[in-house]
Structure 1
């Protein structure tokens, strides 16, 4: 089943014809390697499949054999309806664009925008203000031991790049908060996974001279797409099946539509073309791509969040095969993610 990791195959597929146009071609975790040896194709694709399978097992709190069930005819109709809704953008669970987002994005992208102007925009949205202070004081973003008590202080202490990431997380966090006990574990794990992948993408982008803020928000979009697909599928499933979808059906829906749902969110929220380009490049990477911060960030983030949760993940010796990073770069990103995950797990603060 294609997914976020399928971009690895794009670099080792010269001997294999592309699949038919009407079939999904990508997975979520698309590893990239500089090694052109054709014999590695099967190995790297297998590593990608294994990591993605481990991710789904953890997110859905399920064993691999639970994913082997083929959908019934009625379940296939549920998947078809979900596909139609995504194609038309007619989702009941599609998150609405936060009203302050366009102004904030313009201000945070304007080199002439001052701290007071950015602070005023945030303060104009009371819900965002409250969320922003919670996120800024969480272990994922907090600098040192000092508590951030005001928006102005947050902008000052975190800087433009830092506040952009906090704003992105603060905007998305309420949309991903669990609504009931049924989705509580999934929502919690997807949020932690999304934050870890976003931070990894940001760190890699910064080290490569790319825009860290854009990569951070792009790294969060797949997590938001997961909770959106999950909720929409449950809504359709309860109507057609009179029960909640099983793990196999959820996994198929997530793997099949994760990138298209991410693009739909970027489109509905009127995000700049840069975001669409990043998502598309991550979904369908070209072998000549020199830098792949979002792809590498998704792989590293997934691997580290699984390790922190004591779940199976890529072996140490396999990691350099699936990312385009030097060993010292891998080590630096992993160290930051490990600290973030460790402190986040110890803290009672939930973001």
Structure 2
């Protein structure tokens, strides 16, 4: 376990302090490349493991298909980061040009949903204008979650069952989904489906956390989607300037996460997202107790989503993921993490 941690963290042969060692029962090895957390006479407690291992490092290394084995970026990685920093800090037009436009019906629907008195008849008329949105609506209301004996085929009946709050979430999800269907590009082609899986898992975690913490789910849900849009833009920028070479550093993973959030903020401002959403994104790097409830929910939902995707793809042992979830979010973290797998079809 120590050797794996040192490789992951770029620590060479540094030793783990004896004070951090703890006795624990023998466990079977985890998935390939990721040993189980507890090993007799050479184990780390859950809190120590959590402090040592950055979930972003695990997720980004897998998303990019890289063997993160060193701490410092190479020349190619520095070149990519310079391009990301330049565009994220100065060039709003270049950023928004890399994001497909939303279908016209989406902002129209979201505007209508701000009106508490809007009728289902009006919403039905708008939903019917977008076949993709209509199909998604009918699929959701006919899923096993609602346990209906007969299929719903009428839009107004579907809207009555779903409710306006859930319709907001569905509209936002459908609006963002095409962004994760990129098919070409050295970085984006393999990463986009992995980002799509993360977006789905994070959306489910967001809904579960919003219920437990009594936070408005729509703004938190928008924030989770917008954060991943920044990663899509970052990957497209990287594809534009890529001239060959291999990613290999943990430092690059950390910097990519920061630049992606900056890109998300630029897109969010251009799309005139609610201030609470932009504030939540801006607070992601602080992890302060004074952060807004939406920011805290977004941070935890993102971590739970990454844990879930890593476990599903054999990159992390399930026992390790549950320990991370508990340390990250306490009772909320472990309860919401356990909801991800059985409810994945609802996203």
Give your verdict on TM over 0.5. yes
Name which one, 1 or 2, has greater alpha-carbon Rg: 2
Q: Distance in 2 between matches of 1:316 and 1:335?
A: 8
Q: TM-score, normalised by structure 1?
A: 0.71
Aligned residues: 292
Task: For residue 341 of structure 2, give the secondary structure of its aligned residue in structure 1.
Answer: helix
In structure 1, how many angstroms separate the alpha carbons of the residues matched to 2:146 and 2:285? 33
Contact 2:50 2:324 (8 Å CA) reproduced:
no
After superposition, residues 220-259 of structure 1 pair within 5 angstroms as 220-237=225-242, 241=243, 243=244, 246=247, 248=249, 251=253, 254-259=256-261
Which residue number in structure 2 is paired with residue 32 of structure 1? none
Q: How big is the shift at 1:84?
A: 1.9
Give the alignment of 1:174-323 within 5 angstroms.
174-180=178-184, 183-237=188-242, 241=243, 243=244, 246=247, 248=249, 251=253, 254-289=256-291, 291=293, 292-312=296-316, 314-323=320-329
Query: Where do 5+ consecutive residues of structure 2 fail to align?
Result: 1-44
Q: Can you list the C-alpha shifts for 1:220-254, whole angstroms capped at 9, x where unaligned? A: 222222122111210122xxx2x477465974662
Change (3 A) 1:290 1:269: closer
The answer to whether residue 166 in structure 2 is matched with residue 162 in structure 1 is yes
Q: 1:77 to 1:331 in 2, by over 3 A?
A: closer
CA distance 1:159–1:255, change in 2 (3 Å): same
Which is bigger in relative contact order (C-alpha 8 A, separation at least 6)?
A: 1
Kept in 2, the 8 Å contact 1:222–1:258? The answer is yes
Asked whether the equivalents of residues 221 and 262 of structure 1 are also in contact (C-alpha less than 8 Å), the reply is yes
Alignment-derived partner of residue 106 in structure 1: 111
Report SS of the residue matched to 1:64: coil
Distance 2:334 2:300 in 1: 13
The RMSD of aligned alpha carbons is 3.3
Superposed CA offset, 1:12-37 (max 9, x none): xxxxxxxxxxxxxxxxxxxxxxxxxx
Name the structure 1 match of 2:127: 122
1:79–1:160 CA distance, 2 compared to 1 (3 A): same
The offset of 1:59, in angstroms, is 1.3
Deviations 1:35-63 (A, max 9, x none): xxxxx9x948735x432211112212332
